[in-house]
Each structure stands twice: as structure tokens, then as C-alpha cells.
Structure 1
Amino acid sequence: MMTLIILLLALAGLLIVARRESGARHAIGVMVVTGVLSLIFASGWLALVLFAGAALTAAAGLPGFRRSWLTPRVFAMFKKVAPKVSDTEKVALEAGTVGWDGQLFTGRPDWHNLLVNRYTGLTEEEQSFVDNQCTQAIAQCNAWDLAVERADLPKEVWELLKKEKFFGMIIPKEYGGLGFSAKAQTAVLQKLAANEMLMVTVGVPNSLGPGELLVKYGTDEQKDYYLPRLGG
């Protein structure tokens, strides 16, 4: 009977801690106190369970203990079985920059910086492209026809995409492309997402294609030769 009472006390205490979000220390305190009571007045197995729960909570819930003892050991274990990062992967991981969203992982983001960098919207040219050319392309696509009957885009859609330079959004205007901003490219793909095949067809050349690499790292000769062909 006493074992049941102590068990109920432990459960009630843990529920109160969880309800109030009091943290790991209070949960450990509840389990240690009820464990001692169980050891004195009730059964040893319940005390063992409560002490084990307190130890696990301390290992996982106390930041100082977790960082100094648990995390290094778990990390070392996974490091032995995890595949090694190749040189190419290292370059990719170390490339680029981190925007404001990276501050979220610090636990102390600068909210003022977020408010200062407000969304500026699209230019008139970019918005017009989304409203007109994108709408025209979507109107010529039928999801069932493309996915089941054709397994391809209609010829007139291919011609429209080429004529309106959908594949050259990332190519600068001086090389015959549209020179759209990243926001505009996102807006275009969001609009074209009404048809999955159409969106993917336009999205791949503007993201995985060679255009951006040539713009940033190509020689003048490479840019003059390839970019007009990609942009047009």
C-alpha cells in the first residue's frame, strides 16, 4: 500500500513540474525525495526506478552536466560510425553566409535587426512577370495531361518558356537574361507551383544549372559564350 502511495506522489509531483514547466532540477528533486521515501517506507525496486529516472533526467536535462559529460561521449560514439566528410562537402559546408535566421540558433536573436531589414517586395518588372507570363504558362498546362498523357510539357509551353526567358531568371540582363532577384525567382516558382512539372522545369536551370556558377566564377570568355545561350 505504501509503495502505491509513494508512486502516486511521484507521479503527481512530476505532473505538477511538467504543468508549471519548472525544469529538470525540480523533476530530479521530486524523484530523489520520493525515492528516499520509498527506500525507507516501501520497496527498494521503486526507489531504484526513481533514482534511475533522476539520473537520466540529470544527464539529459541539466545543461552543465549534459554538455560536460553526456554530449561529448555521445558525440564520440557517433563520430566513430558516421561517414567522413569529403573535401567537396567541406567546401560546400564552409561556403556562403548566414542570414538573420542564423541568430535563432544562438538563443538571443537581434529582433531589431529583423525589423530593420523589412521585405521590400518585387520591382514592377518582376511583379508584372509573375502576374502575366507566369499566369499565361500555367493556363496552358493541365496536370493530368502532363503527368499521364504526355509525360512532358506541350510544345507551345516550351516555346513560351524560351521566348519569355524563364530559364534565364538568374542570368544578368547584359547577357540576355532577366536578371531577377532571389525574391523574384522565389515568387515565380511559387506561382508556377500550381503545376509541379512546370515549376520543376523552370526551377532546376535557375538553381542547379551552371548559370550562377558562370556569373560568379566564370572567365570573361566563358561568360560571353555561355551566358547568352543560357539566358536566351
Structure 2
Amino acid sequence: MKYTVKSPKVLQMLYPKRLWRLDSTEKVIYLTFDDGPIPEITPWVLETLKRFDAKATFFCIGDNVRKHPEIYRELIQEGHRVANHTMHHVKGWKTPLLDYLRETESCQNLMEAGSDGTEISKLFRPPYGQLRSNQSKALQKKGYKIVMWDILSADFDLQLSPEKCSENVIKHAKEGSIVVFHDSLKAAPRLQVALPAVLKEFSERGFAFKCIP
């Protein structure tokens, strides 16, 4: 499995309209969670964040919102930001443009319908980080802000120890970093060790954890 923990500067320069991190001199980190919400792990994430007075941004799969509307509403009620991760977690490089836009719009419509009147952001993260140029341009025309990341916890990597997952974030994150975790069954064994460790370490350093604006 090939990936880099820190997003290469060259990628950030190639795609400057995508959000990779937030310029900040404040001690703020932006935790993000992809692929939920699901009952097996998302409620645990919420309880863990609450212990540290931390807010985060959840990039939701529309089909999981459909299946677990009560957990989705809890994300909003707890003051976190919900955002779009397509309806079925599709790969941008393998999905035709119109199908990709339908996936995105279906997810957005479902999130808005289930929000009890709360305004839903148009933040969007492409599954797997895969997005073709025509998809990116079409989404931006529709008002979406494409959110990438500068730090990958790699909690999805089955070969990675939970401690290494923690280290990936603790070693590299800094002011304004956007960090990726996953509230998924696959990531859970590493997430359940890494998330509390990251929250504890950076809280002790005087950092706050906020939603992506």
C-alpha cells in the first residue's frame, strides 16, 4: 500500500485551489474523520472528542447517513461539522463525470434532508483522494470546497501498529494541520489507540481542536 504520511509540497502546489491545511499561527489542529457514521465506532469517537472538548469535521458517506440517521444527527447536535464523501465511496479515477456528480449531489441532498434544519457545509473530500481535473472543476463550479489533508494517520493500514499510527500524527502535525482519521471498522483497532494519544499529546501542548471553517 503506497501512501505518504505528509502530503508532498509539490501536490499542494499543483492543486492550490484544494484545501490542504489552514494557515495559522494559533495552536489549532483540524481533525477529520472519513467514511462514517457507523454505530460500531462513531459514538466512541464522539465520546472521546467530548472528553477533550474537541470539535472535528466528519466526511460522511451518504449511504451510512441513510442507514444511521440518528448517529448523523448526533454529530450535528454535538457541534461537529458534517461534510460530503460521496454516496457510496466511489473512486474518482474510475467513475465518469456525471456519475461522480450524481454521487456527490445525492450525498449532499441526503445530508441536508436529515439535518433538522441545520445548514450543511459544501466541504467535500474525494474518497481515496482520487479526483480527476474535470470532476474537480465541476464540483468547484457547484460551490464545493475540496478538502484534502497535510497529515495522514494511516489508520486504514492493516500492517501498521496503533503506536505507529499515533506517531504519524504526533511527529508531523503542527499549527493549522488537517489530519485524517477514519471512523470505520477497518481503522478501529488503530484509531482507538491513536485518537486518545493524539488528543492528549496536543492538549498538553496547549492546542485546540476545531472544525474546518
Same structural fold, with TM-score higher than 0.5 when normalized by the shorter chain = no
TM-score range, shorter chain: under 0.3
More strand by share: 2
More helix by share: 1
TM-score (norm 1): 0.24
Rg comparison, structure with higher value: 1
